[in-house]
Amino acid sequence: MEKPLQPLYDDDHCEVSREVFWGQKELGQDLGITAVHVGDLLRSVGLLMPEAKDATPEALDSKAAVYVTVKTAEGFHRYPRWNKDLVLGPLAQALRGMPKPLPRNRPQAKQPKNVTNSGQSLVERVTMLERRLETLERAVWGTTAKP
């Protein structure tokens, strides 16, 4: 017999719906990828802080993320949950641009990349940055218009 899931509460002590706000594991299951890859995608669209597990201020302001607290055997644990209606679209789009997870076991993956040795032309790098910016703007503002 499965134990029922513990309720989730936000910072204002209000219960958070598990049907609306998903964790990275649930987002990954829906997208067919790992929770770690979801984290990489959340970072790529500017919803998760680089090299951290914290939601960005933009994600919190746009209500794409809320922090929840859950009681575990080790005590209370606080982490971000994601509004699936606001993040699944940008994540799916980012997944098309980054279908493979970032390397985790290579030390150079954490070092800043030397732009001159990236293997991409300046035009390709600018185009990629523009796409990432558009994805972030859509996630934050909910716009679909292109310039």
Spatial separation of the C-alpha atoms in residues 96 and 93, rounded to whole Å: 5
Express as a percent the part of the chain with pLDDT over 90: 46
**Can you give the pLDDT at residue 18?**
92
User: Hey, is 2 helix, strand or coil?
Assistant: coil
Q: What is the 3-state secondary structure (H, E, C) of 17-82?
A: CCCCEECHHHHHHHHCCCHHHHHHHHHHCCCECCCCCCECHHHHHCCCEEEEEEEECCEEEEEEEE
φ, ψ of residue 140 in degrees (nearest 5): -80, -45
Count helices and strands in the chain by DSSP H and E runs: 5, 5
Q: Are 35 and 24 in contact (CB under 8 A)?
A: yes
Mean pLDDT, range 68-86, rounded to an integer: 90
Q: Which residues pair with 75 in a beta bridge?
A: 72
Both structure tokens of 9: 């509460």
Confidence at 61, pLDDT banded by 50, 70, 90: very high
Which of the two residues, 58 and 118, has the higher pLDDT score?
A: 58
Residue 120: which residues within 8 A CB-CB, separation 6 or more? Answer: 128
Q: pTM of the prediction?
A: 0.64
Q: 81 forms bridges with which residues in the sheet?
A: 66
